[in-house]
A and B are shown apart, each in its own frame.
Chain A
Amino acid sequence: EVQLLESGGGLVQPGGSLRLSCAASGFTFSSYTMSWVRQAPGKGLEWVSALTGSGYSTYYADSVKGRFTISRDNSKNTLYLQMNSLRAEDTAVYYCAKDSGVEAYFQNWGQGTLVTVSS
């Protein structure tokens, strides 16, 4: 059974940094592109970033480009999101998501971790 477990969320001041983790199990982690998707309180879903299974190709939404860095450790089956220069508008639940392996739709999601950016 595929399991994705996010951690690392919390309260951080504007301009601060936070690193999210997503621990994966139940599948061959290195074979799948992984993404981060966020949802601000009461709002819709926003794709944030994606990273191919090899770790060679990264993709970012314009809203986070230059501030967030996605990475993975395939030996630890873990996906990361390093978030720097955080803003109030980054406040959201952050989900990690696994693609299907064949096409780039999100087949599995974690339960999410809440990031609150506030002074």
Chain B
Amino acid sequence: DIQMTQSPSTLSASVGDRVTITCRASQSIYSYLAWYQQKPGKAPNLLIYKASSLESGVPSRFSGSGSGTEFTLTITSLQPDDFATYYCRHYNSYSGTFGQGTKVEIK
């Protein structure tokens, strides 16, 4: 099974900061990677698919990059609504696994 490793686990940042989250796959997943945002008590929300494609309605301050085994999610100019937990997930197969999550906290 392909393992997904996210870093960092927790990130403290201020409004206006540029934030980068990394996700590494244990083997190549080409560009079959999605990023999700989850707020407490809510379902996850799709941000990015195919590693770098922005889902409709998602603010342009979110962007994704990478291919193969290393991927990043970048938030330029962090907003108050962005404090949440972020997950990557590979979908190289239907059984694609999630990363362990990165919690973005207020500094």
- Residues of A whose CB lies within 8 Å of any CB of B are 33, 35, 44-47, 50, 59, 61, 95, 100, 103-112
Measured between alpha carbons, how far is A106 from B32 in the docked complex, in Å?
12
- Please measure, in the bound complex, the distance between the C-alpha atom of A105 and the C-alpha atom of B33, giving whole angstroms: 8
Determine whether the beta carbon of B98 is less than 8 Å from that of A105: no
Once A95-B43, A100-B49, A105-B46 are accepted as A-B contacts, the answer to whether A44 and B93 lie under 8 Å apart by CB is: no
A-B contact count (CB 8 A): 60
Per-residue A-contact encoding for B63-107, CB less than 8 Å = 1, 0 else? 000000000000000000000000101010111111111000000
Check A105/B91 contact, CB under 8 A, given A44-B100, A47-B98.
yes
Do B49 and A105 have beta carbons less than 8 Å apart?
A: yes
Instruction: Pick the residue among A47, A61, A104, A111 that contacts B43 (CB under 8 A).
Output: A111
B34 touches A (CB below 8 Å) = yes
Which residues of A lie under 8 Å from residue B95 when comparing CB positions? Answer: 47, 50, 59, 61
Most buried by A among B36, B43, B93, B96: B43
**Residues of chain B lying within 8 A (CB to CB) of residue A106:** 34, 36, 44, 46, 89
B43 near A110 (CB under 8 angstroms)?
Answer: yes
Chain A residues within 8 Å of B26, by CB: none
| The 8 nearest A-B residue pairs measured at CB | A109-B43, A105-B34, A104-B91, A50-B94, A45-B98, A59-B94, A105-B49, A44-B101
